Amino acid sequence: MEFAELIKTPRADNVVLHQPLSQALEGTLCLTGHHLIFSSRRRDNAEELWLLHSNIDSIEKRFVGSLGTIIIKCKDLRIIQLDIPGMEECLNIANSIEALSTLDSVTLMYPFFYRPMFEIVEDGWRSFLPEQEFGPLSLMTTEWRLSYVNKEFSVCPSYPPVVVVPESVNDEELRKVAMFRQGGRFPVLSYYHTKNKMVIMRSSQPLTGTNGKRCREDEKLINATLRHGTRGYIIDTRSLNIAQQARAKGGGFEQEVHYPLWRRIHKCIERFNILQESLIKLVEACNDQSHNMDRWLSKLEASNWLTHVKETLTTACLVAQCIDREATSVLVHGTEGTDSTLQVTSLAQIILDPRCRTVRGFESLVTREWLQAGHPFQQRCAQSAYSNSKQKWEAPVFLLFLDCVWQILRQFPCSFEFNEQFLIMLFEHAYASQFGTFLGNNENERSKLKLPQKTMSLWSWVNSSEELKKFLNPLFEANSLVIWPSVAPQSLLLWEGVFLRWNRPSKHLEEAQKETVRIINVNKELQVKVNALRRQLAELETNG
């Protein structure tokens, strides 16, 4: 298919662009296969807008006489308006945008066409290979091994080819366990707590069904992670009620009789349309500046977003607490083990593991616990808050995770190597990107699409020193402690950087941020200077 077929009017003049928080601009609008480009006509200081079609969540068109207006709502929550003279042009453009922003085929997406304009120092596709990541662990313990049982994606289509499992369980047994777990997602290692050798594992629900089926290999596998005489916790991210209902559909949960060494805790974390609706309501509330205080607060409450943040964080803290304070291992799962399970295991690692609070550590975490672990990004992030499609599989699971990370970052502003911008950038790229990283739903699909060969990795770009600068937290001072966030409602905040980004001017806040950075830099310079002078003086004194 040629993009040109979809573009009847590639260019329109005298278009007026209205963007949030800035004045209307007049200029020329161009459509390409992947971008909507607007360029103001002022020669002296031409302003340009490049908008990826894939960033467009929904469009609306209106006509007043022959002046057409297109309102574009983006997945990054921005809303822009284009006034286009000429009814035909406007209709053509609207139709093109609609078609180009909803292309079916992944291979037509921009990452397959994007050619990087920066020098690639390091191929991000190869930055976080499982073998590499396993390296340090293999030096510490022989209790865990890499298994290639899923090499062909035949045991579990949503798992990567390589997973970490207990040494004492062989591949044949893994195959049997996979049959007992939904989607073949048998328990694998998610995190190893060096301090006390406790582990977080994750999986999908066991397929016990109504008659309480059991699987000895499954029991053996998870018991193999327990130290002699200790017991573990199973954190089920569903309510007991939902977990019980799941049995009717062949799913279920680990029963005490078959797992006597494990204690099960149910913590309900919402998923799917409940989350999606929550996001839609929250964005709606944030976008209306005219709400009076009561209405704003009641809308904020009705969205339930902060409740979801609190629930997710609480569960993650619970897991971290089991590991660090209680010194027990933990298995986390919900139904499929691709959504709330990953939120919980990854957040727990941020609390427990200082490495996850560095840029590379966090990238590695996102790669391991989200991309390789098979969070279906393509489905979940197909649409954002303005979508009307209401597809069951769309849900801001990853955004909720980033929000939770931001809450921890707010409470421990010196403990993270990256800043808020880094998180916002990840949110944007998960929904629309020139990079292939978040395309596909799992490693299986990614390898079929040959993404590592045909597209650029987000990490290649982020880790170039030029870009990385923007994402570093100047206050960072590594600390090796476990950081326990407060989950009291009084401590949780609305993530303004994402949800109010286009609704309130941030000039003063940004300038204050710059000033903060300046003070820190001056401090560093002065320290260096004082040290140098001291040395000089000391030399003079010894020589004199």
Q: Rule CB under 8 A: is residue 196 a binding residue for another protein?
A: no
Q: Rule CB under 8 A: is residue 72 a binding residue for another protein?
A: no
Q: Rule CB under 8 A: is residue 531 a binding residue for another protein?
A: yes
Using DSSP, state whether 74 is helix, strand or coil: strand
Buried b (16+ CB within 10 A) or exposed e, 226-246: beeeeebbbbbbbeeebbeeb
**DSSP classification of residue 206:** B
Q: Looking at 220, 326, 447, 501, which residue binds another protein (CB under 8 A)?
A: 326
Q: How many residues bind another protein (CB under 8 A)?
A: 86
Q: Rule CB under 8 A: is residue 321 a binding residue for another protein?
A: yes
Indicate the pairing of strand 163-166 with strand 232-236. unpaired
Q: Rule CB under 8 A: is residue 534 a binding residue for another protein?
A: yes
- The residue to which tokens 């199973």 are assigned: 234
- Does residue 153 contact residue 159 with C-beta atoms inside 8 Å? yes
Q: Rule CB under 8 A: is residue 475 a binding residue for another protein?
A: yes
Residue type, 408: I
- Which is nearest to 159 in space by CA: 193, 203, 126? 203
Q: Which two tokens stand for residue 382?
A: 């197909």
Cα separation, 284 vs 294, in Å, equals: 15
Q: Rule CB under 8 A: is residue 231 a binding residue for another protein?
A: yes
Q: Which two tokens stand for residue 117?
A: 């304009």
Q: Rule CB under 8 A: is residue 541 a binding residue for another protein?
A: yes
Q: Rule CB under 8 A: is residue 274 a binding residue for another protein?
A: no
User: From the CB of 484, what's the least distance to another protein, in Å?
Assistant: 5
Interface with another protein by CB under 8 A: which range of 30-38, 180-188, 202-210, 297-305?
297-305
Interface with another protein by CB under 8 A: which range of 92-100, 131-139, 181-189, 497-505?
497-505
User: From the CB of 409, what's the least distance to another protein, in Å?
Assistant: 10
By C-beta, is 220 or 501 nearer to another protein? 501
Interface with another protein by CB under 8 A: which range of 30-38, 370-378, 434-442, 484-492?
484-492
Q: Rule CB under 8 A: is residue 318 a binding residue for another protein?
A: yes
DSSP secondary structure, 411-474, as one string: HSTTS-SB-HHHHHHHHHHHHS-SSSTT-SSSHHHHHHTTHHHHS--HHHHHTSHHHHGGGB-T
Q: Rule CB under 8 A: is residue 487 a binding residue for another protein?
A: yes
By C-beta, is 1 or 488 nearer to another protein? 488
- Does residue 443 contact residue 153 with C-beta atoms inside 8 Å? yes
By C-beta, is 104 or 477 nearer to another protein? 477
User: From the CB of 21, what's the least distance to another protein, in Å?
Assistant: 11
Q: Rule CB under 8 A: is residue 226 a binding residue for another protein?
A: no
Q: Rule CB under 8 A: is residue 245 a binding residue for another protein?
A: no
Residues 6+ apart with CB under 8 A from 397: 271, 275, 339, 340, 342, 343, 375, 380
Interface with another protein by CB under 8 A: which range of 111-119, 213-221, 459-467, 507-515?
507-515
Q: Rule CB under 8 A: is residue 298 a binding residue for another protein?
A: yes
Q: Rule CB under 8 A: is residue 530 a binding residue for another protein?
A: yes
